[in-house]
Structure 1
Amino acid sequence: MPQMSPLNWWFLFIYFVTLLILFSIINYYIVFYSSPMSEKNIFHKKSLNWKW
C-alpha cells in the first residue's frame, strides 16, 4: 500500500475539520430552542383551607 504524502494528509485533515465546523454550524442554527422567557410563567398556587 503506497504511503500518502504529507500534503495529502494535510488536505484530508483540513477536509474533515471543515466538515466538522460546517456540521456544527448547521446543527446550531437548525435547532430552534424555545427561550424560557417566552413561555408564560404562571404558577398556580394551591390554596389549602384547613377547617378545624
Structure 2
Amino acid sequence: MPQMAPLLWLYLYIFFLLSFIIFLMINYFIKPFETIDSNIISKSSTHFFNWKL
C-alpha cells in the first residue's frame, strides 16, 4: 500500500534518532582510557636511554 510509505520513513527516522541518542549517551558515560602525560614519559624515559660503556 503506497500510503504506508510516509509512516515507514517516520519510523525509520525515529529509530535513527533513538539509536543516535543511545549511542551518544553510551559514549558520554563510558570514559576512555586515561592518557599518560607526555612530560612524565619524557622524564622517566631519559633514565632508560643513558647507557654507559
The bucket for the TM-score relative to the shorter chain is 0.5 to 0.7
**Structure of larger gyration radius:** 1
Normalised TM-score (structure 1): 0.56
* Structure ranking higher in helix proportion: 2
The total of aligned residue pairs comes to 48
How well do the aligned residues superpose, as a CA RMSD in angstroms? 2.8
Q: Which portions of structure 1, spanning 4 or more consecutive aligned residues, are displaced by more than 6 angstroms?
A: none
Name the amino acid aligned to 1:16: F
Which sections of structure 1, spanning at least 5 residues, go unmatched? 46-52
